[in-house]
């Protein structure tokens, strides 16, 4: 009999730097009394990210949603954009706020990213861009999408909300496509409490993005475009700088957790894991998705999600339902049958993963899952 955890085990917990370190950083803020609006810590954070991404084309925001929304506006994207329905709702909201029509197409079954064949089939004279998501931090089919974008003269934008720190070959993932958005929300493996980052190819875009996030101000007396307020503040920047120093440690701990989950779950009937990532990819273990085949596991994904709660384990159905099934997007016409996306959304469950999660707790979670499966197998024999 496995006992329930005493304290809830959530799908994630944010990494926090030592309190003494953070307090020291706060002292500087207290001394300068500079809280927001392009302060000294934000500048230092921006420089650290330029070094991290090996580019000067970076722009910080107060969250990832506004970063993406502003990116689309700054790039002048309009008409139709081909995108995935298997993502967090903010990806589509960013299109909506720019009056862009989302064209949802299916995902591929291995890593759940946009299926390039479906993208190509959905291009119309109104298509201006592809908005793909490195979902769970798994890189999209980068080369094929780049080729499609080039041949059809489309902008290629990545929602890389889950992919901070991921590298492909020798390059940070932000180097692919015209622009990438990273979320620094507290639930991300790397975070600044709330925050968003854009990395882009075209240096000329920087000025526009800076205006758009700061009301369009050029100077005290000139407003050159109707911008909004999407600035990152100094405390967010401080958290961002400090967490960055621990990134390798965080990723290593997460890697060990993934490894243990994979070892313990791979032989359980009805549990499907993503294939191990290829050796040229540095993966950062943002999420731990598993797919549940109800017939083989003898319990549906929804039942497993509920049963785990009885043990104080709070897994999440990221990303169910599909975006096109939310009430606010049900009127968007969807031509693609979304066969894979529907199947995956019905089966997916993301298990707890964060640096402070003990390996012994991961073992217990896996034992609970195994015992739930065995219980059902046993019941069905009588």
Strands (E), the chain: 9-10, 58-61, 80-83, 101-104, 127-133, 155-159, 167-168, 171-172, 179-183, 196-200, 217-219, 222-223, 271-272, 281-282, 288-292, 313-314, 348-351
Instruction: For residue 286, give the nearest of 189, 167, 165, 377 by alpha carbon.
Output: 189
Taking CB under 6 A as the criterion, the residue among 5, 10, 215, 326 binding ligand T4K is 10
Residue list 142-171, contact with ligand T4K (CB under 6 A): 159, 161-162
Q: What are phi and psi of 11, to 5 degrees?
A: -60, -30
Q: Is 240 in the site for ligand T4K (CB under 6 A)?
A: no
| CA-to-CA separations, 87 to 130, 154, 162, 319, 322, in angstroms, rounded | 14, 21, 10, 6, 7
Separation between Cα atoms, residue 299 and residue 204, nearest integer Å = 53
Q: Report helix, strand or coil for 127.
A: strand
Find, among 354, 344, 133, 135, the residue nearest to 261 by Cα. Answer: 354
Site for ligand T4K in 90-109 (CB under 6 A): 90-91
The mark string for 289-328 relative to ligand T4K (x by CB under 6 A, - otherwise) is -------------------------x---x----------
Residue of this chain nearest to ligand T4K (CB atom): 64
The reply to whether 63 sits near ligand T4K by the rule CB under 6 A is: yes
Which span sits near ligand T4K by CB under 6 A: 36-44, 147-155, 167-175, 184-192? 184-192
112 part of the interface to ligand T4K, by CB under 6 A: no
Which one of residues 4, 13, 120, 317 is an interface residue with ligand T4K (CB under 6 A)?
13
Contact flags string 72-91 toward ligand T4K, x per CB under 6 A: ---------------xx-xx
Provide the minimum distance between the beta carbon of 184 and ligand T4K in the complex, in angstroms, as a whole number. 6
When binding is defined by CB under 6 A, the residue of 46, 57, 65, 92 that contacts ligand T4K is: 65
Q: Select the residue interacting with ligand T4K from 41, 132, 133, 232 (CB under 6 A).
A: 133
CA distance 210 to 331: 34
Residue 284 binds ligand T4K, judged by CB under 6 A: no
Q: Report d(CA 305, CA 296) in Å as an integer.
A: 16
Distance CA 46, CA 59 (A): 7
Q: Which lies closer to ligand T4K via its Cβ, residue 13 or residue 44?
A: 13
> With respect to ligand T4K, which residue has the nearer C-beta, 215 or 314?
314
What minimum distance in Å lies between the beta carbon of 160 and ligand T4K?
A: 8
Transcribe 208-239 into DSSP letters: HHHHHHBTTEEETTEE-S---B----HHHHHH
The count of chain residues that interact with ligand T4K, using the rule CB under 6 A, is 23
**SS3 state of residue 192:** coil
> In the bound complex, what is the minimum distance in angstroms from residue 120's beta carbon to ligand T4K?
23
Residues forming contacts to ligand T4K in the complex (CB under 6 A) are 10-14, 63-65, 87-88, 90-91, 133, 159, 161-162, 183, 185-187, 196, 314, 318
């Amino acid at each position: 009999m496995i006992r329930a955890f005493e304290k809830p085990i959530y799908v994630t917990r944010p990494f926090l730097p030592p309190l003494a370190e953070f307090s020291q950083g706060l002292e500087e803020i207290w001394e300068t009394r500079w809280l927001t609006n392009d302060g000294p810590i934000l500048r230092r954070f921006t420089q650290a990210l330029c070094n991290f991404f090996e580019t000067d084309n970076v722009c910080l925001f107060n969250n990832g949603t506004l970063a993406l929304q502003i990116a689309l506006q700054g790039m002048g994207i309009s008409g139709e954009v081909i995108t995935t329905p298997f993502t967090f709702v903010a990806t589509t909201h960013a299109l909506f706020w720019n009056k862009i029509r989302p064209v949802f197409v299916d995902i591929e079954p291995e890593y759940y990213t946009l299926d390039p064949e479906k993208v190509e089939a959905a291009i119309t004279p109104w298509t201006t861009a592809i908005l793909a998501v490195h979902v769970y931090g798994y890189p999209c089919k980068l080369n094929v999408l780049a080729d499609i974008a080039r041949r059809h003269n489309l902008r290629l934008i990545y929602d890389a909300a889950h992919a901070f720190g991921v590298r492909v070959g020798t390059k940070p993932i932000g180097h692919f496509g015209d622009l990438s958005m990273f979320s620094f929300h507290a639930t991300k493996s790397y975070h600044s409490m709330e925050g968003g980052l854009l990395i882009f190819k075209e240096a000329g875009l920087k000025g526009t993005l800076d205006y758009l996030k700061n009301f369009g101000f050029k100077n005290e007396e000139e407003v050159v475009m109707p911008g909004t307020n999407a600035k990152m503040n100094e405390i967010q920047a401080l958290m961002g700088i400090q967490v960055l120093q621990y990134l390798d440690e965080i990723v290593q701990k997460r890697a060990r957790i993934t490894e243990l989950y994979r070892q313990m779950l791979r032989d359980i009937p009805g549990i499907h894991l993503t294939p191990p990532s290829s050796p040229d990819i540095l993966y950062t273990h943002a999420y731990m998705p598993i797919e549940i085949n109800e017939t083989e596991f003898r319990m549906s994904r929804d039942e497993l999600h509920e049963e785990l709660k009885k043990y104080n384990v709070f897994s999440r159905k990221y990303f169910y339902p599909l975006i096109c099934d939310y009430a606010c997007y049900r009127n968007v016409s969807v031509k693609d049958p979304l066969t894979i996306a529907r199947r995956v959304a019905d089966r997916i469950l993301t298990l707890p993963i964060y640096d402070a999660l003990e390996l012994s707790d991961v073992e217990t979670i896996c034992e609970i899952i195994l015992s739930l499966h065995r219980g059902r197998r046993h019941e069905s024999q009588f």
